[in-house]
Amino acid sequence: MSEASHGGSISLWLRLLGFALVPLSVQVFYPPLGGALGILTPLPLAYGMRRRNIHEGLMAIVLVTFMTATVQGAGSGLFFLVETIPLCLGIYWAVGSIRPPYITVIGSVALVALSAFMALVVYGAVSGEGLVGVYGKTMEQMSALMGSVPGSAEMPLEDRAHLEWLMEIWKSLIVGIWLSTLTLLFILYTTMIRGWLHKAGLTDREQVPYFSRWSMPFPFVGVFMGLAILVLASKGTPGTVALNVLLPLGTLYGIQGVAVIVHLFNRWNVSIFIRVLILAFFALQVPLVLMVGMALFGLFDTWFEFRHRFPVSEKSPPA
């Protein structure tokens, strides 16, 4: 490596590490906001790993892990490490992968989930709390955080009861919500990094599958329908477990629904302003209808193949 190249690498990593440590810095002064911004931390690390190499990316992750453990404790540092390494490696693979996008996403998210689960098992064994104890402690921390929301103590009894009800739902669906969020973040970060690398002239975008190609195989329809029936017909633990699995699967179909909608927007030459206006209206007025509608639209695309029935002309831009 030349001296100029080495200097450029150091400059790049200093900028990326500065970005990655912003949420941690904010958390020192205002923990709720810093915790919310924490989802941005893997983005610059994954970009640096793909821009430079895996070795330098892993070193950067270890450095941020050390800083996280110093500020938040060893448990938070360990969880950050085992979650961020497979996530960044998955993005590294996805940016240059020529396999169907759903395979890349499912494989990467499954790797992150398995790593996190193993970390919880190891942490529970080392701390002596066990997996159940770690889970219970996490739920207590979440309840305390919810109780610390400004104004929650002065809430009317009815509103506070509603907040507690939402908290109980959140606790029962935490795995499904986490997997769904992880899936969306993975796709968003992969898309952003692919675009940045293409803009920098470091990759040929035509060789990387667009997420507009997203298409779930037909057997997943049976899994989706079976889980939906189990959720509707069962109560207690079986229904809760099925719903935790259905949420990330519904997210995958939601992505397919978004791909179809974007495809149809391109076919009909709908302006960006109108697209944003339509999506913003549904997101603000009926968010649940929007989420369920996108998932069902993606599910129906398995049968009707909207993108093949209504092809986009060559003059239209890719999604």
Which of the two residues, 201 and 89, has the higher pLDDT score?
Answer: 89
Please tell me the distance from the alpha carbon of residue 88 to that of residue 111, in angstroms, as a whole number: 11
DSSP annotation of 247 reads: H
Band (132; pLDDT cuts 50, 70, 90): confident
User: Which of 251, 246, 252, 219 lies closest to 234, judged by CA?
Assistant: 246
Which of the two residues, 206 and 198, has the higher pLDDT score?
Answer: 198
Q: Which domain, by its residues, includes 302?
A: 216-319
DSSP 259-281: HHHHHHHHHTT--HHHHHHHHHH
Over residues 32-48, mean pLDDT: 88
Q: Are residues 92 and 187 in the same domain?
A: yes
- pLDDT for the residue numbered 130: 75
User: What is this structure's pTM?
Assistant: 0.84
Last-in-domain residue among 209, 229, 246: 209
% of the chain with per-residue pLDDT over 70 = 87
Give residue 158's identity as a one-letter amino acid code.
E
Cα–Cα distances in angstroms (integers) from residue 100 to residues 10, 12, 95, 193, 295, in the given order: 35, 31, 12, 18, 19
Q: Are residues 63 and 95 in the same domain?
A: yes
DSSP annotation of 312 reads: P
Phi-psi region of 282 (alpha: psi -120 to 50; beta: other; left: phi over 0): alpha
Band (319; pLDDT cuts 50, 70, 90): very low
Last-in-domain residue among 185, 209, 233: 209
Last-in-domain residue among 166, 192, 209: 209
Q: Are residues 200 and 220 in the same domain?
A: no
Over residues 5-29, mean pLDDT: 87
Q: Are residues 237 and 157 in the same domain?
A: no
Q: Are residues 90 and 231 in the same domain?
A: no
Q: Are residues 139 and 256 in the same domain?
A: no
pLDDT for 317 beyond 50: no
Q: Are residues 17 and 102 in the same domain?
A: yes
Band (221; pLDDT cuts 50, 70, 90): very high
User: CB of 52 within 8 A of CB of 12?
Assistant: yes
- The pLDDT mean for the chain works out to 84
Band (210; pLDDT cuts 50, 70, 90): low
Task: Report the sign of the C-alpha dihedral through residues 147, 151, 157, 158, in that order.
Answer: negative
Q: Are residues 109 and 5 in the same domain?
A: yes
Please tell me the distance from the alpha carbon of residue 193 to that of residue 91, in angstroms, as a whole number: 9
